[in-house]
Structure 1
Amino acid sequence: MDAAMFDDGSMRLGMVGRDSNGSVVVVSCKRDVRIRSMEEAEAKVVVVGLEVALRMGIEKVHIETDSLIVVNELNGRTPRRNYLGVLIDDIIHVLSSFVSSCCSHVKRGGNTVAHLCARLCTRRGNEVVYVTDFPQAILSLA
């Protein structure tokens, strides 16, 4: 899961879901102009990705993000009382719907597929979800 910020102030959120064999099973992107910081965007993409996983009936999730702030907050290390904290609470609430979940930090270089997915989303406010016929650019990196 990753987010990208653009010159017009918009954020684009990208998520790539894989099965236990590492094969791509879902790709999702969403454009959002209401997010004010990268930390908020990184948390928001986790919320969006988890909601997609729930709609697909996925029961077990392993969140990978290049945001150490989000990972630390989800693991209870740095509580905040701001909008980022609200998003973290949203993530924790959605995670309770899964049979099992975990969250880990990946280096930015390990998150290139999700970052590309975020950059592919072009329409404001629209969410695009692929469960078949994935964009070739995504498949070539995956």
Structure 2
Amino acid sequence: MTAAGFIRLVEDYVSYAHKVFKLRGHSEIRTQTSWSVPPHGWVKVNTDAYVPNNGRVGLGVVIRDDRGKVLVAGVRKIEATDVELAEAQAALYGVSLARRMGFNKVMLETDAWGVAMAVKSVAEGCSPIFLIYDDIHKFCNSFDVFQCNHVKRSGNVVAHRIARWSTNESDEFVCIDAIPQSIRTLAELDIS
């Protein structure tokens, strides 16, 4: 009876896990170790989240063209405590910023493997993070072409640095033309 009860618990858990973590269109995800330029005519949107011990979470985004030039750098501050939730919010902020700027061929990169996998495989589930993934997918469908990749932290240093920016008293700070020299230098180091 004990064994039968255990088997029933395992079956219940498998059923639950399938409903909560169900993935459509399983696809392999490519991990890059360093930043590389996107294909001609595309922009690459790198995102990262900075979760300090105290204070508001920083969502960093850098958008670069097919020559590696920084076109947009932005940070948004939000209230969050969960790292994966913050990384998903950063990805959402990245695609929404790309849409606001009018880009149509977008390659999203994040150093959060779980987020990249969920975006690439069009994850569905019942936990709150899937609401963020649903919003990301809505933005993705508005682009002419979209791709998502995982990049290791060493290939995401510019977005990581931007996520630590201060927004002073506002919720968002975006640079379009006047990109700080420190960010341009970091970006140049990626492609040299």
Q: TM-score, normalised by structure 1?
A: 0.92
Tell me the CA shift for residue 133 of structure 1: 1.1
- Can you list the C-alpha shifts for 1:36-69, whole angstroms capped at 9, x where unaligned? 3111111111111111111111111100100110
- Can you list the C-alpha shifts for 1:113-137, whole angstroms capped at 9, x where unaligned? 0000000134365111111111222
In structure 1, the residue corresponding to 2:131 is in which secondary structure?
helix
- Can you list the C-alpha shifts for 1:7-43, whole angstroms capped at 9, x where unaligned? 214210100001122111000101111x231111111
Structure 2, unmatched stretches of 5+, are 1-46, 188-192
User: Residue 101 of structure 1 aligns with which residue?
Assistant: 146
Structure 1, unmatched stretches of 5+, are none
Tell me the CA shift for residue 95 of structure 1: 0.8
- Can you list the C-alpha shifts for 1:85-129, whole angstroms capped at 9, x where unaligned? 111111001111100000000001111100000001343651111
Q: How many residues align?
A: 141
Equivalent residues of 1:32, 1:125 under 8 A apart: no
In structure 1, the residue corresponding to 2:58 is in which secondary structure?
strand
The match for 1:42 among 87, 91, 109 is 87
User: Residue 56 of structure 2 aligns with which residue?
Assistant: 10
The match for 1:57 among 96, 102, 126 is 102
Q: TM-score, normalised by structure 2?
A: 0.69
Q: In the alignment, is residue 82 of structure 1 matched against residue 127 of structure 2?
A: yes
Equivalent residues of 2:57, 2:77 under 8 A apart: yes
User: Residue 22 of structure 1 aligns with which residue?
Assistant: 68
Equivalent residues of 2:110, 2:149 under 8 A apart: yes
Runs of 4+ in structure 1 displaced over 6 angstroms?
Answer: none
Equivalent residues of 1:31, 1:123 under 8 A apart: no
Equivalent residues of 1:63, 1:104 under 8 A apart: yes
In structure 1, the residue corresponding to 2:98 is in which secondary structure?
helix
